[in-house]
Copies of this chain bind each other. A is one copy, B any other.
Amino acid sequence: MYVKNRMTKNPVCIDVNSKISEVVDIMNDRELHRIPVVSGKKLVGLVTESMISKQGATKATSLSIYELNYLLSKTSVDAIMIRDVITIHEDRFLEDAALVMFKHDIGCLPVVNDANEVVGILTSNDVLSAFLDILGYRESGSRVCVEVKDELGTIGDVSDIFKRNNCNITHLGVYSQHNGYSDLIIRINTFQTDALEKDLNASGYRVLSITKNPN
């Protein structure tokens, strides 16, 4: 659940002295939209596809295409990169990274170590994938959604009911309704849920849905 467990290691970086035209080639070849800019191994900036197209658009009104291409082949990336790059440390929790992405509305974070060297890159897709793992979404079994009161020991009581029906809880998410009730989203590694559902109802819990995921 740490950033370093889910990031892409050794991402493509470009040297701060590279020309913009080189960056364009790398972005096209590798299908990348953002590339960290380094001096040695240290992060010094970030360049994105849209920075380059804006650079092109600004100059395009006054230059011919040939002049523009010439300019891009002579201009270093440090002329257009952003220097205040939002990063995340490799030892932070993945939730921390998710919050940073959410707050700043960005889909990608360079990952750094103590020396501010780029050791990875983390995208919102990496985070989505990790969350799907935490909720057990891609595993075979059943998904049981139960409405419960927000009370001390509720999760223990509910998990006792699962245990006595031989249903092993593999994942459990809690989705608060903020009205004193929460939805428990529980994954179990079995498709036999009839006895469990009866027992939950008999114990006073409201089963909102049960879906089977054969995978």
Report which A residues bind B (CB closer than 8 A).
1, 49-50, 53, 60-61, 65, 93, 95, 98-99, 101-102, 105, 107, 124-125, 127-129, 131-138, 145, 150-153, 155-156, 159-160, 162-163, 166, 168-176, 183, 185, 211
A1–B133 CB distance below 8 A: no
Given A125-B124, A137-B98, does the pair A163, B172 have CB atoms closer than 8 Å?
no
A132–B163 CB distance below 8 A: no
Residues of B within 8 A of A170 (CB): 150, 174, 176
Copies of this chain in its oligomeric complex: 2
Q: Which of B1, B50, B53 contacts A145 (CB 8 A)?
A: B1
Residues of B within 8 A of A95 (CB): 132, 135, 137
Residues of B within 8 A of A49 (CB): 50
Closest 7 CB pairs of A and B: A156-B159, A153-B163, A131-B131, A152-B168, A134-B173, A124-B124, A171-B174
Could you tell me the distance between the alpha carbons of A90 and B160 in the complex, rounded to whole angstroms? 34
Residue of B nearest to A145 (CB): B1
A132–B1 CB distance below 8 A: no
Q: Which of B53, B128, B134 contacts A128 (CB 8 A)?
A: B128
B1–A183 CB distance below 8 A: yes
Q: Which of B128, B135, B152 contacts A166 (CB 8 A)?
A: B152
B102–A128 CB distance below 8 A: yes
Residue of B nearest to A126 (CB): B102
Query: What are 10 residue pairs bridging A and B, where the CB atoms are less than 8 Å apart in the complex?
Result: A49-B50, A102-B129, A102-B132, A127-B131, A150-B170, A152-B166, A153-B159, A153-B168, A155-B169, A156-B169
Could you tell me the distance between the alpha carbons of A138 and B211 in the complex, rounded to whole angstroms? 29
B174–A163 CB distance below 8 A: no
B132–A135 CB distance below 8 A: no
